[in-house]
Structures are given as structure tokens and as C-alpha cells.
Amino acid sequence: MKKTTKHIIFYCVDNDVLNLNYFRENFKPNLSYSLFTFNSVKMFINQLREDTKKKSFKIVIIDNIVKSVRMNTKTAIEILPLIKSIDPDIQVIIFADSKNMALKATSSKVRPAAFIKKDSQYFVRLYPLIDRLISQCDLKNKVNSRRYAIIIFILTISISAILCLLGYLFY
């Protein structure tokens, strides 16, 4: 399904309510967006399932350590396959406590878009990453549109040629 980047839906998931409040107060990208924050993984998954029919581009920003007793999970890496099974086009950014987190996810086929070290400067790194993800989505949409236009053009030329040939033969 073609995702539109005119309005972006952000989901922020963290067990720590203070971190969520800080994120909610300081997250101000220059975009048209909606921000949903969750301190429960189960509530986030339920909301994501409800939003699957929305055509908006979606970005999940999740803390690496998100414990969910009901889902029996402890890290974002364990939740990532479930998120991608609900919406394969969703982009996931994981807040990590160290820079080496990318090494842990390399063995999986399902990978997050990026890991960001959770420190006082993470918004400085987050905004350019969001811009890059939006640009990648727009590029993918343009490539797909161009592909469809070429197919329609070739079909139109082929049908015109066949009709001309049939008109020539039967006239």
C-alpha cells in the first residue's frame, strides 16, 4: 500500500513515564504529524492494529528496554517482528543506551531503521533521521509511480498497435 508523507504518525513507546513526558514536551519536528505515546507495549500494539488501514507514513520510536509481562518481552528487538508483521512498511527507531546495539540485531531479517543513543542530544540525531526516512518513502513512492506509468504507456502503445494492425487487415 502506498504510504503518504503529508501527515506522519509517530508512536513513542517507553515504560518510563518521565521519559515519555520529556519526549512529548520536546518533540517538535517541522512536519504535519500526530504523536501517540505509550507506556504499555500492549496498548501500543492494539493502537497499531487499529491504525493499519491509515495510509499515513508511520514511525515508531521505542526504548530498547520495554518490558511487557503480558507479551513476555523485555527488549524492543523482541517486539520488532510483531510490529513488522502488523505493518511491514513501518519504520522503527530504537533508543539504546550504547552505540553497539546494531550488533545485536544483525542476525535477524527484521531490522529497525536505526539505533539512537539515548542521551541529552538525541533530538539532534533524531530529526535528520526522520527526514531521511521520509525522503526514502517519497523516493519509493515516486519509483513505483514511474513504474506504473511505464507499464500503462507500454500497454497503451501495444493496444494501439494491435488495433491498427487489425484495422489494416480487416479494412
pLDDT per residue over 127-155, tens digit each?
999 999 999 988 998 998 899 999 999 99
Q: How many CB atoms lie within 10 A of CB 111?
A: 16
Which pTM does this prediction carry? Answer: 0.80
Cell 503480558 belongs to residue: 70
Task: Give the per-residue pLDDT at 21.
Answer: 92
Q: Which tens digits make up the pLDDT trace of 2-32?
A: 677 889 999 999 988 898 999 999 999 989 9
Alpha-carbon gap, residue 146 to 103, rounded angstroms: 36
Closest by CA position to 30, among listed 8, 13, 48, 12: 8
Q: How many CB atoms lie within 10 A of CB 113?
A: 17
Task: Give the per-residue pLDDT at 98.
Answer: 65
Task: Give the per-residue pLDDT at 52.
Answer: 87
Alpha-carbon gap, residue 81 to 171, rounded angstroms: 62
Q: Which tens digits make up the pLDDT trace of 39-64?
A: 988 999 999 999 988 889 999 999 98
Q: Which tens digits make up the pLDDT trace of 78-104?
A: 889 999 999 988 999 998 876 555 545
**What mean pLDDT do residues 151-162 have?**
94
* Strand positions, DSSP E, the chain: 4-13, 33-38, 56-63, 91-96, 114-117
Q: How many CB atoms lie within 10 A of CB 154?
A: 10
What class, spelled out in words, does domain 4-139 have in CATH? alpha beta
Q: How many CB atoms lie within 10 A of CB 101?
A: 20
Tell me which amino acid residue 164 is.
Answer: C
Cell 501517540 belongs to residue: 36
